[in-house]
Amino acid sequence: MKGASQQQTIAAFRLISSSDPSAVILDKTSKYSKCWMNKFGHDNPTVVLRPKTLPQLQAFLSFANRNEIPLVPQSGNTGLVGGSVPNAPDEHVLSMDRFTATPICLNKEEQIMTLDAGVVLQDAIDFAKQHNFLFPLSIGSSGSCLIGGNVATNAGGMYFSRFGSLRENVVGLEAVLPSGEILNMMKCVLPKDSVGFDLRSLFIGSEGTLGVISKVAVKVHTMPTSRELAILACDSFDNVRKINEKISQLSPGLVSAVELMDSSVLEMVRARLGKTICFDITKGHYYIALEFMGFDEMSDRAQLEALLASALDEGYICDGIIAQSLTHLNEIWATR
Ligand SMILES: Cc1cc2nc3c(=O)[nH]c(=O)nc-3n(C[C@H](O)[C@H](O)[C@H](O)COP(=O)(O)OP(=O)(O)OC[C@H]3O[C@@H](n4cnc5c(N)ncnc54)[C@H](O)[C@@H]3O)c2cc1C
């Protein structure tokens, strides 16, 4: 098949998945062949492979590998750097958007959630939440990106400062190599494990260069019972650094997110996206969003108020507000 025509390649892929016509698509493929920003990829006809099961994924990969047919793994196609779309007309897309055959599984005792790579991130977050657990990957694309793509990009997000990126949260992983072989690293090991090479870690952030991630096991955390959010306005970057130092001295396990926005970015959000910003953006040049997640509402609130008061006294901030309700908190995060 080496050097086969496009028609022969398509016929071969169709034969591999003959009982599942939706596994190979040729029409309306531009949502797969171009990125959402219209910046990367192309409009040329592309073959899109959409495996649903592990044997299908293995068969597609090994056939393409034997016949030197380039495939680009793709999940939610929300990446910002063109890694999930074809570069050349002869490249085909291997989309993981149907790869959800196994139901999400939660081991409450071990606090581990196991998911097929095609699960939408928001579904994973919601599933954990229904069982009173937090899956702390919060990114703007959560309604579209898939967990396999998140692991392949080592996604971080808003809660990075407390929980780390996915590298700190993936405890098991299964991948299919280009040869079609399955690499099973699902045995969830203790963090203290020090045996040999950490192959699992190699796949995290590998962007599809080593194989296709098919399943992952991730840590989930007991859902905090309190959430407090403050916006601190600073007039200089020097003061931002001083506040940051103060924040780093707070008790561990309290701060869940620290994000910095400057006034020009906020102005752009208001002017270009037409968003109403629910805090005063005329008070400083820099705005720090500081979130606490904890288990004692009164004490958490008191600590946040104390931080604001001392930062005002010391002249590090020129203004500060605390979200007054969950709706207010969500409105502030929506600006971010
Ligand atoms: C509004 C918005 C906000 C964002 N915020 C953040 C943020 O805060 N933090 C952050 O890290 N990113 C952020 N991103 C970027 C992007 O959403 C993430 O990188 C996300 O993890 C990509 O997931 P995806 O499912 O869309 O993967 P895709 O874009 O489809 O793929 C990304 C890369 O992974 C490879 N890949 C995909 N699936 C697999 C697989 N199963 N096995 C192997 N390789 C695979 C692809 O080939 C590609 O190289 C944001 C994007 C948007 C649009």
For ligand 1, whether the C-beta of 153 sits within 6 Å is yes
Q: How far apart are CA 303 and CA 299, in angstroms?
A: 6
Among 31, 34, 57, 74, which residue has the most ligand 1 atoms within 8 Å of its CB, making it the best to mutate? 74
Please give the distance of CA 31 from its chain centroid, rounded to a whole number: 20
pLDDT of 82: 94
111: left (phi over 0), alpha (psi -120 to 50) or beta: left
Q: How far apart are CA 35 and CA 154, in angstroms?
A: 19
- Is the whole-model pTM more than 0.75? yes
Question: Residues near 242 by Cβ (< 8 Å), separated by ≥ 6?
Answer: 314, 316
pLDDT of 120: 98
Index of the ligand 1 atom closest to the CA of residue 117: 41
Show the DSSP H helices in 204-296 as ranges: 237-248, 263-273
- Whether residue 261 is predicted with pLDDT greater than 80 in this model: the reply is yes
- Whether residue 281 is predicted with pLDDT greater than 70 in this model: the reply is yes
Q: Which amino acid is present at 103?
A: P
pLDDT of 191: 65
CA angle 276/282/283 to nearest 5° reads: 125
- Whether residue 105 is predicted with pLDDT greater than 90 in this model: the reply is yes
Q: Report whether 65 contacts 180 (CB < 8 A).
A: yes
What is the average pLDDT across 12-35?
Answer: 91
pLDDT of 189: 60
Q: Looking at the chain, which runs of residues are DSSP E strands?
A: 24-25, 48-49, 71-74, 92-95, 105-107, 112-116, 133-134, 170-176, 182-185, 212-219, 221-222, 226-234, 255-262, 286-294, 319-322
Architecture of domain 6-95: 2-Layer Sandwich (3.30)
Q: Tell me the CATH number for domain 226-335.
A: 3.30.70.2190
Domain ranges of the chain: 6-95, 105-222, 226-335
Closest by CA to 188, choosing from 166, 163, 217, 215, is 217
pLDDT of 83: 95
For ligand 1, whether the C-beta of 96 sits within 6 Å is yes
Percent of the chain residues past pLDDT 90, beyond the cut:
78
For ligand 1, whether the C-beta of 84 sits within 6 Å is yes
The β-bridge relationship of strands 48-49 and 226-234 is: unpaired
Residue corresponding to tokens 């939440």: 129
> 54-66 and 6-16 helices cross at what angle (nearest 10)?
150
For ligand 1, whether the C-beta of 239 sits within 6 Å is no
pLDDT of 60: 97
For ligand 1, whether the C-beta of 95 sits within 6 Å is no
Q: How far is the CA of 118 from the centre of ligand 1 (A)?
A: 12
**Tens digits of residue pLDDT in 133-159:** 999 999 999 999 999 999 999 999 999
- CATH 3.30.465.10 assigned to domain 105-222? The reply is yes
Q: How far is the CA of 145 from the centre of ligand 1 (A)?
A: 6
